[in-house]
């Protein structure tokens, strides 16, 4: 059954964890891995996925999405094929369906493993 996504993000290669994510973390929460997005970053923490989206011409306006792992009901991963160069991860949550597209350089199995670790440990 095809459902339209409530939002869609594109992740690229893994990057060092940005220092400016620290103020977003709650006590006891730690950043685990970060990935480059189109204009900003996505950070996997011990509690949630934080996606920062810089907007506007200057990028000073920033929208922050916070997805607690506890709301993820199911996920799927699809690696790139011979003629299909796109990989993607799909998340089904209590809020709706989220698509994560993976740009060249993003490791679909690494991201799938991070989601599995996060979701299964939170149950």
Identify the structural domains of the chain with CATH numbers, from first to last. 7-121 (2.30.29.50)
Average pLDDT for residues 2-21, to the nearest whole number?
81
pTM (2 d.p.): 0.85
Quote the CA–CA distance of 109 and 78 in Å, as a whole number.
9
Task: Check whether 107 has a pLDDT greater than 90.
Answer: no
The two three-digit tokens of residue 108, written as one number = 């679909």
- pLDDT-based confidence at residue 83 (cuts at 50, 70, 90): low
SS (H, E, C) 36-95: EECCCEEEEECCEEEEEEEECCCCCEEEEEEEEHHHEEEEEEECCCCCCCCEEEEEEECC
Q: What are 45-68's pLDDT values in tens digits?
A: 999 999 988 776 766 778 888 999
> 97 with 6: CB under 8 angstroms?
yes
* Alpha carbon of residue 31 to chain centroid: 13
Quote the CA–CA distance of 98 and 31 in Å, as a whole number.
21
More confident: 61 or 74: 74
């Amino acid at each position: 059954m095809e459902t339209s996504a409530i939002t869609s993000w594109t992740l690229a290669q893994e990057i060092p964890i940005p220092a400016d994510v620290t103020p977003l973390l709650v006590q006891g929460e730690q950043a685990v891995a970060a990935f480059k997005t189109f204009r900003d970053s996505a950070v996997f923490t011990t509690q949630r996925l934080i996606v920062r989206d810089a907007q506007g011409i200057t990028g000073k306006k920033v929208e922050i999405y916070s997805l607690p792992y506890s709301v993820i009901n199911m996920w799927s991963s699809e690696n790139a094929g011979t003629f299909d160069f796109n990989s993607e991860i799909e998340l089904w949550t209590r809020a709706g369906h989220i698509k994560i597209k993976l740009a060249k350089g993003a490791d679909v199995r690494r991201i799938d493993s991070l989601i599995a670790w996060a979701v299964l440990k939170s149950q």
